[in-house]
Amino acid sequence: MNTATAQEYLIAVALVLVAASATAAALARDPVRQAVLLAVLGLCLTVLFTLLQAPDVALSQLAVGTAVTPLLILLTVRKVRRATASHHDRDKRGPEGTDES
């Protein structure tokens, strides 16, 4: 197996991983799971960009696609869930803050 064939094989494997992780992220229903799969997708894209000899793009993808974006999604989900739980608790207590039960 020569070098060009090995490189093409690695690129093909990376493309399959990118396609699989992108599909999994799109089909996931839970936002937390989507964020984790988005981080995995970012990591797969980083490997692909490295194999395609684009280290600057790979570093950008590693920083933004693998770390920052999933972190922002997770923080947003956490804040929304807290606000929803707080709103739900307020509705349960009734208009004057007393339990209705």
How many domains are there within the chain? 1
Residue 100 falls within a domain, yes or no? no
Which tokens in the block code for residue 69?
Answer: 């974006």
Q: Tens digits of per-residue pLDDT, 43-74? A: 999 999 999 999 999 999 999 999 999 999 99
Residues 6+ apart with CB under 8 A from 21: 37, 40, 41, 44
Tokens of 60: 């950008």
Note the pLDDT tens digit of each residue in 7-39. Answer: 999 999 999 999 999 999 999 999 999 999 999
User: Nearest CA to 18 among 50, 58, 53, 47?
Assistant: 47
The stretch 69-90 carries a mean pLDDT of 87
In a domain, 98, yes or no: no
User: Does residue 95 belong to any structural domain of this protein?
Assistant: no
Place of tokens 């599909």: 23
| Residue 24 belongs to domain spanning | 3-90
